[in-house]
Each structure stands twice: as structure tokens, then as C-alpha cells.
Structure 1
Amino acid sequence: MKDLAIDKGTRVKLHFALKIKDGDVVDTTFDKDPATLEIGDENLPENFEALLMGMKAGDHAAYEVTPEKAFGQHNPSNVQSFKRHEFSADMVLEPGVVVSFADARQQELPGVISRVEGDEVDVDFNHPLAGRTLEFEVEILDVEPAGPTH
């Protein structure tokens, strides 16, 4: 099975690293157990899955992923202003703090406080990696047909 190429309907065991270009490591499995995912199971964004297509066990590659193919450009209209009293009184409100809201469908929507000034609190709902060019490194350990786990 070592020659099976990654495609829809395959289960892949891999090591990966996601880094900000010329910067910090966001996430990696190279120093722990490998990840296993099924192509199309939405564990990996579609554009990242597309990079894996055709790779086989033993392949090792690194890709540069632009913001458009990763988490989009930073969108200023995703930064919302709130009044201080809209948050609970005991909540720490300072830049960098993650706050969770519920959207119209009651799904959890995390935001990061970007500015606190007087009674104004700005919350950024962009993905934390929006606007960043990323490096995606992968090492494919195993590729097998997806289906019931044995």
C-alpha cells in the first residue's frame, strides 16, 4: 500500500508544522504523535488538503501558503466596537484577551480584544492568522483507503 497517493477517500498519517513565514511555529506534530486525518473530513482547510493531493508515504515537502489560500486577508469590518458595560464587570479587558460570543445561529464566535479606550472596547473577529503568509511543512507517514477503522 506504500504507493497509494493521497486523494479523496484516503486516510493519511502525517507530521506537519504550520509556521508564520519567517516567524513563530503555530502548531506542529514533529515533536509528538503524528496526526491522522481523512481527506475531506474538514480537519484540514480545503486549500491545505489540496497541497497534499498526490503525495505518498515517505514524501516530505514544505509549501508557502498566501493569506488568500490560508485564512484570508485581515478584514477591518470584522473589528467591532462594544461598550464596556456590555461585558461582565469582573472580566479582564485588555488587548490580546480572547472573548467568546454567540453568533446569530448560536455558534461560538471567538474574538480577540484589540483596543480598550475609556468605555470603548474593540474586538477583532478575524482569524488570528488572517493576513499572514504561512509555511506548511508535511511529512507523509502512511496513506490508506479510508473506511471503517480496523
Structure 2
Amino acid sequence: MSEAKSGDTVRVNYTGKLTDGTQFDSSEGREPLEFQLGSGQIIGGLDREVEGMKVGDKQTVTVSAEEAYGPHDPAKVQNIPRSALPAEMEPQEGMQLQAQTPQGGQVALIVTSVDEQEITVDANHPLAGKDLVFEIEMVEILKAA
């Protein structure tokens, strides 16, 4: 039985949890996750752990924040005056917003606090700064041509 290697397309079942056991994602009830090893389609730490697995292999791995979504960057947290928001908007903690960058791109923001004068938004990935634990099962390996 062959091992998965860079360039192969693989299909895995997975459950992702924080180190405290809180589940943040799972393929349960869905199709397995399909991606090409070494292509950058998934976080680097998980890609590295899947390489070398065989069909039927199961393992639990911990991926450090640095190899997942990176450290939490305080520079990506900003205060915005409420007057800069549309008048009809009622911001709430946890609300997701979209903003446009000066270059015309889109950035996702999460409202982390709200007061009478301003709101605080965070442009970090919600899992930035967190070590992640994955239970993975190799379902299929499609060899690279």
C-alpha cells in the first residue's frame, strides 16, 4: 500500500479542535476533504502531517499556531468611530463585516467590542494564535500523474 506524497491528491475525513477540546470544524456528514499535497491548499502543518499516511491510517496531530493561521497580530486590531459606519447598522460583538483595502481587495473583520463612540474590529483569522488538534483519517490517495 502506497503512502501519500507531495503532488498526490488525497481525501481525508477530519475533525478540528482547539487544545481545550472545542470543535471548530469537521467533515462528518459531508464529503471528505480533498486537496493536493504540497500545493498550499490547506494549512502547512496539516499538509505535512498527512504526507506519508496510507489509506485507512488514522492519527491525531497537533498543529502549532505558527504552522496553522499564524500568530495573532495586534496590528490587525483597530478601533473605528461609529460615525464611519452606515447609520442603519447596529454593530454587535461577534458580527462579521467586510471592508475594502486601499488596493481594492476585501478583508473580513470581526467586531470584538462596541461602545457608544467606537467599535473594535479584528482582521486576524479567527484561529490565529491558536494551536489546533486534528483527528484525521486517510480515505483515498489519487497518485500524481
TM-score normalised by structure 1 residue count: 0.88
CA drift at 1:80: 0.8
User: 5+ unaligned residues in a row in structure 1: which ranges?
Assistant: none
User: 5+ unaligned residues in a row in structure 2: which ranges?
Assistant: none
Any conservation in 1 of the 2:92–2:111 contact (CA below 8 Å)?
A: yes
**Count of aligned positions:** 145
Question: Counterpart of 2:47?
Answer: 49
Question: Counterpart of 2:138?
Answer: 140
Q: Hey, what's the Cα distance between the residues in 2 that align with 1:84 and 1:5?
A: 54
1:122 equivalenced with 2:120 (yes/no): yes
Q: Hey, what's the Cα distance between the residues in 2 that align with 1:54 and 1:10?
A: 11
Q: Supply the AA of the counterpart residue of 2:12.
A: L
Q: Hey, what's the Cα distance between the residues in 2 that align with 1:71 and 1:130?
A: 5
Any conservation in 1 of the 2:37–2:51 contact (CA below 8 Å)?
A: no
Q: Hey, what's the Cα distance between the residues in 1 that align with 2:58 and 2:102?
A: 42
Deviates more, 1:119-128 or 1:99-108: 99-108
Superimposed CA distance per residue, residues 100-148 of structure 1 (whole angstroms, 9 cap, x where no aligned partner): 112233222101111112221111111111122211111001112135x
93, 96, 99: which one aligns with 1:95: 93
Any conservation in 2 of the 1:4–1:144 contact (CA below 8 Å)?
A: no
Q: Hey, what's the Cα distance between the residues in 1 that align with 2:44 and 2:130?
A: 17
SS at match of 2:93: coil
RMSD in angstroms over aligned alpha carbons? 1.5
